[in-house]
Structure 1
Amino acid sequence: MEEELTEFTNRFRATFELAHRKISHSVLSELNSELTAPQLFMLAMISKENTPKQSHLADKLGVKPSAITVMIDRLVQSGHVIRKHHETDRRIVLVENTPEGTAVLTQANEVQKKIIARGLSQLPPKELSIFVEAFEKFTSSY
C-alpha cells in the first residue's frame, strides 16, 4: 500500500505542477501584460494582506526583505504599486496596489477563471463533480 501511495503522490505532484505551469503560462499569454508571474503573485499578496509592510510580505513568503524590495521597486517603477509611510510610525513602509495594479490583478483573475473553466469543461459532468469534490476533500486536510 505504501508503494502505491508513493506512486500516486509522485503522479499527483507532477500533474499538479504541470497544470499550474500551463495555467500560469496561459494567463500570462492571454493577459498581454509586461508583468511576470511572480509580480502578479506579489500584487495578489498585497491585495490579500491589505496594504502590508514590506517586511510582512517577506515573512509570509519566507524570503529576505531585500528580495521583496527589488520586486516592489519594479512594481513601483511600472506604476502597479505605491509605497507609503505608516500614519503614526514613519519608519514603517507600507505597500499598496495602485488602480492600475488592481485592474491588472482583476483582469488576471478573470482570465484565470476562463482558462480553468475551459479545462474543466473537457470533463464529463460526472467526472467533473468527482474531480472537484475529491480536490476539495484533499485540500481540506491541510
Structure 2
Amino acid sequence: MEDDLLAYTDRFRTTLETTHRKISLAVLSKLDTELTRPQLFLLFMIAKEGMPKQSHLAEKMGVKPSAITVMIDRLVQSGHVIRKHHETDRRIVLVEVTDTGKAIIKMTENVQRDVIARGLSQLSPEDRHVLVNAFEKLNTYY
C-alpha cells in the first residue's frame, strides 16, 4: 500500500473511531436510562432484525450464546425486551422489543439526531455536502 494511502487510512480509522465514541457518549449522557452502550446496541439490533433467535444475535455480535443470554436477561429484567418460544419448535427462543424498548429506541434516535446535527452545524454547507457524500460513496464499497 502506498505511504499516502496508508497515512489516510490510519487517520480515517482513528478519526472515525474517536468520533463514533464521542457521539455515543454524548448521546448516552443525554438519555435518562440505565442501559449501557452495549445494551442499547443490542436493543437496536433486535428491533432491526424483527423477532430474532437468540442464537442469531450471538452470531451477529460475534459472542458466545451464553454471553448473549446474560445481555438479554438484563434487557428482559428492565422491561425492554421479552422472550418468546417459536410456535412450532419450542426449543427456539425468540426476542422481541417491548413498547418500553421501542420508546427508548425512539428517544435515542432523537437524541442522536440532535447530537449529530450539533456537530454538523459547525461545518460549512459545502463541507457538510462533501462529508456526507464521501461517506455515502465509501459505504457503497462495503
TM-score by structure 1 length?
Answer: 0.97
- Aligned residue-pair number: 142
**CA deviation digits over 1:11-61, x for unaligned, max 9?**
001100110010000110011210001000101110011010000101111
Distance in 1 separating the partners of 2:116 and 2:82:
31
Matched, 1:82 2:82: yes
Distance in 2 separating the partners of 1:48 and 1:36:
18
What stretches of structure 1 move > 2 A for 4+ residues in a row?
none
Q: CA deviation at 1:139?
A: 1.2
Matched, 1:21 2:21: yes
Q: Which runs of 5+ in 1 are unaligned?
A: none
**CA deviation digits over 1:99-118, x for unaligned, max 9?**
10110011101110111111
Hey, what does 1:101 align to over in structure 2? 101
Distance in 1 separating the partners of 2:76 and 2:128:
41
**RMSD of the TM alignment (CA)?**
0.9
Greater mean alpha carbon deviation, residues 28-37 or residues 1-10: 1-10
Matched, 1:34 2:26: no
Amino acid corresponding to residue 112 of structure 1 in structure 2 = Q
Identity over aligned pairs, percent: 65
Matched, 1:112 2:97: no
Q: Which runs of 5+ in 2 are unaligned?
A: none
